[in-house]
Structure 1
Amino acid sequence: MLAKAARDALSKHAKLAFRFKGCLNAKRAAPHFISRPATATATLPPPASRDDTELIALFDQPQLPQWSATTSTTGLFGHAVLTTPTAFVALAESALRRAQLLTARVLNARQSREDLFKVVKNLDRLSDLLCSVIDLAELVRNAHPDRAWVQTADNIYEKLCEFMNVLNTHVGLYEVLSVVFSDPEIVRSLGPEAYQTALIFWRDFEKSGIDLPPEQRNRFVSLSTEIILLGRQFLNESAAARPPALIKPSELQGLKDMGLGARLRLQAQVTNRDLHVYPGSLQAQMIMRSAPEEGPRKKVYLAANASTRDQIDTLEKLLRARGELARLVGKSSFAHMTLSDKMAKSPENVQRFLDALMDHTRPYARSALRTLSMRKQAHLRTPPYPIIQAWDRDYYCPPEPPAPPVSLPPLTLGTVFMGLSRLFQNLYGVSLRLASLAPGEVWHNDVRKLEVVDEESGVLGWIYADLFARRGKPGGAAHYTVRCSRRVDDDDVEGDFLQADEHDRALVEVSREFEFAPRRRFPGQEGTFQLPLVVLLCGFTRPTIGRGPTILDWHEVMTLFHEMGHAMHSMIGRTEYQNVSGTRCATDFVELPSILMEHFLSSPAVLSLFDPDGAFAIRQTGNHHEDPCRAIDTHTQILLASLDQIYHSPAVLGAQFNSTHALAQLYETRGLIPYVSGTSWQTQFGHLFGYGATYYSYLFDRAIASRVWRKLFAHDPLNRETGEKYKHEVLRHGGGRDPWMMIGKLLDAPELETGDAEAMAEVGRWKIEDEVSIPGRH
C-alpha cells in the first residue's frame, strides 16, 4: 500500500519528499482486490523447514522471549547512540552539522575536478544522511509509546525538514549540478543508476522554482508553506465528525439487523425523541445496509456527505495555491508539474489510461447496477428498473468482508508468516528467520525482529514487526523504510572534513557512529553495501496466554501480504544510490509489488504453504462468488481519479471554479448513480493532499499487477524461474531503471517501453479483475 503509500503525511517534510527523496517512505496499505484462484499448478513446495516453523512460535506465543543471550543494553535498532531522547537530540545535531559540512563540500566542487565527479554521489549521501534521521523520527513519533520520545522525534523531524527545505531551494547546489550535466566527460562516467539519481535531483530542483528570479522564488517558498498549512487543515477537516442525521423511531421498522435495530428503537422510546445517528458510526452503517425504508438511508447519506462553507473554502484554497505554484515554474497546472517524472508523464496520458479503463469497466458496472435495480424492483414492487440512488448501494448490495477462495482452518499470525517465508523461498530463494534482540533495541516488547536471508548471498536486511494494537498507536498498516540499501565503500567520508576544525570533528562523531550500520559485500556485485532495515506497523489483536495466538481475519492476511510486498521490494532492491533503492521509485509504480502479493492469495498452491505438515485439505468452498458490486466500485474509483485530475487542472485558477459543481458535473456526465444535490463529498477526499494528481496510481498498479499475475504466475505461482525473472527485472532495481522498461521486459512487451500515451491506454485496456458475465457479451 509505501506507501506506499500517503500518510497523514503530510507535514512539511511530505511536500519535500520528492526532492531529497529518500525521506518519509512509509507505505500505507492500499485497498485490497483479489482475482480468482488458479486452476492448476506445476510446482510443488518443499516441506516447511525448522526456520519456517520457528516463525509460528515467534508470533503466536507471547511468553517466549526473543532476547539474545547477552545482557548488554543497546539503543534503538542496535545503535548505542539511541538510548534516550536526549541522545536522539545529540544525534540530530551531529547529523545536521555533518550535512552542513557535506553541503559546503558540494558547493566547492568546482574547485576540484575530482570532486566534480563525486557530486552526484555526495548529493545522494547528503540525502541519505538527513533521511536516515528524518525517517527514524517519523517512525518514532508514530510507534513509540513514550511521550518524551515522541515529542523529541517531532522536534527533530521539524528541524531537519527545515534544513531540507533550504537544500531544496539552494541555488548554489543547482548550479553545481548544472556544471556536472554540462560536462560530457562526467556525464559519460555516470552509470545508469547514477544518471537516474542525478536526474531526480535536477528535476526536483526545477520543481522547486530554483531558476526563478529571487522575488518569484520567494513567492514559491511562501506558496509551498501555505500549501503545507492548508493541507494539514484540510486533512483535519476531512476527518472531522459530521452533524448527525435525525431519524424517527418509526422509520426503523423492519430492520434486517433486529438486535441493533431493536436497541435503537428502544433507545428512541426511552428518550421520547428522534435518534441522533452520526455518519460513520455503527448505527449509521447498520441503517445504510439494513433499513428497508428509503427515508432513513437518505438522511444518513445526506448527513455523511455534507460540508460546511469553511471546509469547501479550505479545499479550494489548497487547489488554487497548487495551481499558482505550478504556474510559477512554467507549468499549466499542478498535474502537469507533478506528473512530469511519473510513469504517466502528463495529465493527458493519465486521461488516456482512465478513459480506456472506463470503456472496459462501464459495461460490467452497468450490468451490476441492473442487478441492483431488479432487487429494488422486487423489494418495492415498482415498474421495471427503478433508479438506484446513492443511498441504495449498500442496502441492495451489502458490503461483505473478503473471504479466502477455498476452505481454510483459522490462520494464526505465525502461520501466515511461515507461509510468507515459504512463498519467498519458492519464488526468490529468500527466507525469513528469527533474529535475536538486545535489550533496548526495540521500542516495545511486542516488536519482533526477522532477518531476511538469501540462500546464496546470506543476510539481505532486517524487518522489525510491530504488529499488535495498543493505546496511542495509529490504526491501519504501514511499511517504514528506516534505512535503505546503498553502496558505501566509495563514500570518501574523509573528504567531508578537509575544512572542519576539531570542534566539528568531535560533534559529527555521533552521526558517524550512527551511520556505520551493518554492511557487506555480495557475490557478483561490486562494492560494499549497507543493509536495509524496515518496520511493519499493524493493528492486529495481541495474543495472550489465556486467549491463545492471534487469529487473522482474511482482510488482515491480505494486509500482511500487501505490506510484505513493500518489505521485500526494500530488501531485494539493492542499488548503489539510496534515492532509487527499493520502494523509492515513482508513485505510480511503487504499489505494484504489494498489490501483486495480494494476488498470490487467490492460489490454492500458495494457501497450502500455510500448512507445515500438509495436513489440511485445500478444497473449493462452493460459495466463492463474484461480488456483483465490484465493478461499480471500480467505476467509482475511476471517477475519483478523474476528479483528482480535474481538481489539479488549469480550471482551478478560473474565477468561476467551484469544486462542488465540478463533482456534480463529473457524476452527471460520466457517473452511473446520480449525483445528490446538496452534497459535497469532496471535503472528505483526504487523498487529494497526499496523492494530489496521482490518485490514479492505485488503479494503474492494480491493472499492471493483474496483468503480471495472469501472464506470469497464475498457472504456476510457485515457479522459481518466474520468480527469479520478476526479482531481476523489477524488484532488484528499485527506482534505478525506467519503470516502463522494467514492465516491458518482464511482460515481453517491448511496445510498452516508450511509456507514451498509447502505452498508458494499453494498460487501461488490461483487466483489473475477472469479468462477471454480461448478457449478450462474450
Structure 2
Amino acid sequence: MTPNNPLLQPFEEAPFSKIKTEHYQPAIKEAIALANAEIDAITASAEAPTFKNTIEALENSGETLSRATSIFFNMNSAETNDEIQQIAQEVSPWLSEFSNDLTLNEELFKRVKAVYEQKDGLNLSVEENRLLEKHYKSFSRNGANLKEEDKKKLREIDTELSKLSLTFGEHVLAETNNYEMLVTDESKLEGLPESEKETAAQLAKDKGKEGFIFTLQYPSYIPFMKYVKNRELRKELSIAFGAKGFQDNKFNNEDIVLKITNLRHQRANLLGYNTHADFVLEERMAKTPEKVNDFLEELLEKAKPAAEKEFKELTAFAEELDNIDHLEKWDSAYYSEKLKQKLFDVDDEQLKPYFQLENVIDGVFTVANKLYDLQFKEVQNVDKYHEEVKTYRVTNVKGEEVALFYADFHPREGKRGGAWMTVYRDQQKKDGKNIRPHISNVCNFSRATSKKPALLTFNEVTTLFHEFGHALHGMLADTTYTSLSGASVYWDFVELPSQVLENWCYEPEALALFAKHYETGEIIPKELIEKIKKSANFQEGMQTLRQLSFGMLDMAWHGIDPSTVKNVKEHESKAFENTKLFPDVAENCMSTSFSHIFQGGYSAGYYSYKWAEVLDADAFAYFKEEGIFNKDVATKFKEHVLSQGGTEDPMVLYTRFRGKKPNPEALLKRAGLIH
C-alpha cells in the first residue's frame, strides 16, 4: 500500500486536510487492484460456494475503493475544479471497467448462482435473502448471461456512458459559472428587496466591478425572477437560464443527450429489455413503464383543469396590473408572487426574517429530537473540505454515537447547483460492531451579508427539511450490510423520508420551535402561519403540471427507442405538448441541462417525486391523526421505514408502518385538487 496516500489508509473520519488532488488517481487505481484481489480470492476458493464465503465476501469486498471514490465524487460535486474534473474523466472509465469486470466475471457468477439456486434450503434471514437476491440480480441484469461479443459491447457502452454523463454535468456547471448579468443602473432593479440587492452588490464588489451582479445560481436567479419589475431584464436572465447546454459553443449538450439516450437504449436491448425504462423500472415499486405512464396520466387528468384555471387567473391578473396580454415564461414567477401577495398578503420578504439559517438548523434538529430522540452537538475537531462546512456529532438518549453529520449550505464556484444528501461512510454491522454512518447535506442557500445573517426563503426552509429527511434515512440505518443500508432503497421509495419531513414546516407546533425573528426573537405570528398554510396550495395545479411535465419528458427519452430522434428540442416540445401553458422559447431547451436524468440517477425515475408524494401525504395523514410529534407513530416510522433501508420490499415496509397500503386520495386532498 502507498504509505503516504491518506485515501488508502484506514480512517475513522475522512481526512480532508491531508488529501491532495494528486492523491485521488493513484488511490483509485490501487483500490481497484485491491478490490480485484479480493474478488480473485473468492473465485479461487476450493471450498463449495456458501452464503458466507461468496455472498458475504463479495459484499465486503472493495471497501477501500468505495471509501476513496465516495470522497472523490463528493468533492467533484461540492468542491470541484478543472483538475478534479480531469481526474473524473480519467477514473470513470476505470470504474466502469471494474464494475463490468465484476458483473461479467463468469467464475464469480457461477458461485453466486450456485448459492442462489439452493437459497430455499439455506435458512437465511429476511435481510440475507434480500442481499442474495440483490447480488444475483446485479449479475443477471447486467450481462452475466450474455455471449462474449455482447459482453464486450456492454463494456464499451458503459465506459462511454460514464464519460458522457460527467461531460454533461461539467457543461452545465460551466454554463452556470460563465454567465453574469451586470446591472449598473439601480432604478432598473425596482421591486427587488434590499437584502437581494446587498448580495448582488457584494458579488459585484468581490469581482472588482461597480453595480450589481446576478448569476444563474438559484439564490441569485429565483429572487430576480420573482421581484424585478423590469420585464426585459427578467427575459434576459430567464433565457440565459433556459439556454444552458443549448448554445452554439463548446458546452452544447444536444449531441450528448442523443448519445446518452441511444446508448442506454442499446444497453437495455442487449440485456433483453425493450427500453431503458423497462430495465430501470423492473427494480422499482412501479415495476413497468406502462404503470408509470398511467400514474402520470391519472395525475395529469386531475391537475390539468386546475392548472388551466390558475393560468387563466394569472393571465387576467397580469393584464389588469400591467396590460400584459399574453404571459411568457419570464412573467410566471413575477406575477405569481404578486398574485400570491394579493390573495394571501404574504411574501418571502415578510417571512425571511423568521428563518435565520442557524435557527432553522436548530429547528430541524429539535424536530428530529422530538420524533426520534436524537441529539446534535456541533464539533470543531472534525476534518472538513471547506471552512464553511459545519460538523455535528449525533447521539441517542443513552449518549451512544448514532452518526457524524456534515452540512454545507452556500453556493460556491466549485459546487454544482441544487441540494443533495450524500454518504462518506455507510452504516453496517461487522465483527460484532455496529459501524455508524457519516452523512452529509449539501445545499445552495443565500449567504449572510455584511448587514444581515443568512435568512432563508420559505422554499429554502422546506429544501433544508427535505434533505435532512434523506439524512435521517442514512443516520438511523440499522442493517447488517452496507448495500442495503440507509437510502439504498428503490428509487421511488427513497423520496418518502425526505418529502414527509417537509410537512413539519407547515405546522404551527413545529414552526414555534424555530421560526423566530432574527432581530427581536419574536416567534412567527399565528396569522403568518395561517397565510403560509393557506398559500401552500397556491397554484398547486400549475406546480403539479410542471412536475408531471418533467416526469413525462424523462419517459419520452427513456421509454422509447430514441434512434429516430434527430432534434432534441423538437422531441422535447412533443413531450411537453399535453402539459404546456406558456409559449415556447426558441432559445431554450430543458433536456440539455436536465442533470437529474442525464447526470444524476433519475433516468426513467423522475416520476418518483410524485410517486413518493402519494406515500408521504398518506404517511403524514397518520401523524396528523395521532399528533405530529406522536412517539408511537414516529417509532413505527423509524422501526419499519427509516432503519430498515432496502432489507425488504418497500411496500411491505410501508404497509407494516401504516397498517394498510397508501391511499392516493391523501395527496390529491392535500393539494386541494379534490375535496
Q: What TM-score results when the alignment is normalised by the length of structure 2?
A: 0.79
Partner residue, 1:21: none
* Cα distance, 1:394 vs structure 2: 3.6
SS at match of 1:131: helix
- Number of aligned residues: 627
* Cα distance, 1:301 vs structure 2: 6.2
Partner residue, 1:214: 148
Q: C-alpha deviations, 1:454-498, integer Å up to 9, x for none?
A: 225822222133445666455543322111111212xxxxxxxxx
* Cα distance, 1:720 vs structure 2: 0.9
SS at match of 1:733: coil
* Cα distance, 1:648 vs structure 2: 0.9
* Cα distance, 1:143 vs structure 2: 5.2
Match of 1:528 among 426, 430, 433: 433
Relative distance call for 1:529 and 1:419 in structure 2 (3 A) is same
Partner residue, 2:596: 687
Relative distance call for 1:314 and 1:575 in structure 2 (3 A) is same
**Contact 2:104–2:139, Cα closer than 8 Å, also in 1:** yes
Partner residue, 1:667: 576
Counterpart CA distance in 1 for 2:62 and 2:130 is: 15
Partner residue, 1:350: 292
Q: Residue 613 of structure 2 aligns to which amino acid in structure 1?
A: R
Q: Are 2:272 and 1:330 equivalent residues in the alignment?
A: yes
Match of 1:633 among 543, 552, 555: 543
* Cα distance, 1:198 vs structure 2: 2.1
Relative distance call for 1:636 and 1:530 in structure 2 (3 A) is same
Q: Residue 482 of structure 1 aligns to which amino acid in structure 2?
A: Y
* Cα distance, 1:430 vs structure 2: 2.0
Q: Residue 541 of structure 2 aligns to which amino acid in structure 1?
A: A
- Which sections of structure 1, spanning at least 5 residues, go unmatched? 1-73, 247-251, 262-276, 490-526, 753-761
Match of 2:559 among 646, 649, 652: 649
Partner residue, 1:767: 667
Q: Are 2:127 and 1:193 equivalent residues in the alignment?
A: yes
Match of 1:424 among 368, 392, 402: 368
* Cα distance, 1:303 vs structure 2: 6.7
* Cα distance, 1:738 vs structure 2: 0.8
Relative distance call for 1:314 and 1:442 in structure 2 (3 A) is closer
After TM superposition, the structure 1 stretch with the greater mean CA deviation from structure 2, 205-214 or 299-308, is 299-308
Q: Residue 335 of structure 2 aligns to which amino acid in structure 1?
A: Y
Partner residue, 2:209: none
- Which sections of structure 2, spanning at least 5 residues, go unmatched? 1-8, 182-186, 198-213
Match of 1:563 among 467, 470, 485: 467
Greater relative CO (CA pairs within 8 A, separation 6+): 1
Q: Are 2:106 and 1:171 equivalent residues in the alignment?
A: yes
* Cα distance, 1:718 vs structure 2: 1.2
SS at match of 1:136: helix
SS at match of 2:643: helix
Relative distance call for 1:714 and 1:434 in structure 2 (3 A) is farther
Counterpart CA distance in 2 for 1:617 and 1:392 is: 30
Q: Residue 363 of structure 2 aligns to which amino acid in structure 1?
A: G
Q: Residue 591 of structure 1 aligns to which amino acid in structure 2?
A: E
Partner residue, 2:508: 604
Q: Are 2:138 and 1:204 equivalent residues in the alignment?
A: yes
* Cα distance, 1:733 vs structure 2: 0.3
Counterpart CA distance in 2 for 1:280 and 1:407 is: 21
**Contact 2:489–2:646, Cα closer than 8 Å, also in 1:** yes
Counterpart CA distance in 1 for 2:357 and 2:179 is: 38
* Cα distance, 1:329 vs structure 2: 0.8
After TM superposition, the structure 1 stretch with the greater mean CA deviation from structure 2, 342-351 or 128-137, is 128-137
Partner residue, 1:393: 332
SS at match of 2:61: helix
Relative distance call for 1:695 and 1:79 in structure 2 (3 A) is closer
* Cα distance, 1:78 vs structure 2: 4.5
Partner residue, 1:521: none
Relative distance call for 1:619 and 1:576 in structure 2 (3 A) is same
Counterpart CA distance in 2 for 1:81 and 1:688 is: 30
Partner residue, 1:619: 526
Counterpart CA distance in 2 for 1:562 and 1:406 is: 22
* Cα distance, 1:108 vs structure 2: 3.0
Q: Residue 627 of structure 2 aligns to which amino acid in structure 1?
A: D
Q: Residue 376 of structure 2 aligns to which amino acid in structure 1?
A: L
**Contact 1:405–1:602, Cα closer than 8 Å, also in 2:** no
**Contact 2:552–2:576, Cα closer than 8 Å, also in 1:** no
Counterpart CA distance in 2 for 1:474 and 1:390 is: 24
Relative distance call for 1:468 and 1:692 in structure 2 (3 A) is closer
Relative distance call for 1:137 and 1:635 in structure 2 (3 A) is same
* Cα distance, 1:188 vs structure 2: 2.9
Counterpart CA distance in 2 for 1:769 and 1:236 is: 41
Relative distance call for 1:560 and 1:123 in structure 2 (3 A) is same
Counterpart CA distance in 2 for 1:288 and 1:238 is: 23
Partner residue, 2:39: 103
Counterpart CA distance in 1 for 2:550 and 2:294 is: 15
Counterpart CA distance in 1 for 2:360 and 2:118 is: 53
Q: Residue 735 of structure 1 aligns to which amino acid in structure 2?
A: G
Counterpart CA distance in 2 for 1:159 and 1:692 is: 22
Counterpart CA distance in 2 for 1:289 and 1:409 is: 17
Match of 1:119 among 48, 54, 71: 54
Q: C-alpha deviations, 1:27-62, integer Å up to 9, x for none?
A: xxxxxxxxxxxxxxxxxxxxxxxxxxxxxxxxxxxx
Q: Are 2:393 and 1:451 equivalent residues in the alignment?
A: yes
Counterpart CA distance in 2 for 1:619 and 1:669 is: 40
Counterpart CA distance in 2 for 1:211 and 1:100 is: 21
After superposition, residues 27-426 of structure 1 pair within 5 angstroms as 78=13, 83-85=18-20, 95-109=31-45, 111-113=46-48, 115-142=50-77, 162-184=97-119, 188-238=122-172, 241=175, 305=242, 307=246, 311-379=253-321, 388-398=327-337, 410-426=354-370
Counterpart CA distance in 1 for 2:416 and 2:589 is: 28
**Between structures 1 and 2, the one with greater helix share:** 2
Q: Residue 650 of structure 2 aligns to which amino acid in structure 1?
A: P
SS at match of 1:620: helix
Structure number with bigger Rg = 1
* Cα distance, 1:236 vs structure 2: 4.1
SS at match of 1:345: coil
Counterpart CA distance in 2 for 1:616 and 1:769 is: 29
Q: Residue 591 of structure 2 aligns to which amino acid in structure 1?
A: Q
Q: Residue 35 of structure 2 aligns to which amino acid in structure 1?
A: A
Identical residues among aligned pairs (%)? 23
Q: What TM-score results when the alignment is normalised by the length of structure 1?
A: 0.69
Partner residue, 1:487: 429
Match of 1:537 among 442, 452, 473: 442
Q: Are 2:482 and 1:578 equivalent residues in the alignment?
A: yes
* Cα distance, 1:565 vs structure 2: 1.4
After TM superposition, the structure 1 stretch with the greater mean CA deviation from structure 2, 553-562 or 197-206, is 553-562
Q: C-alpha deviations, 1:256-284, integer Å up to 9, x for none?
A: 679999xxxxxxxxxxxxxxx99889799
Counterpart CA distance in 1 for 2:137 and 2:508 is: 45
Counterpart CA distance in 2 for 1:195 and 1:605 is: 42
SS at match of 1:343: coil
Q: Residue 706 of structure 1 aligns to which amino acid in structure 2?
A: A
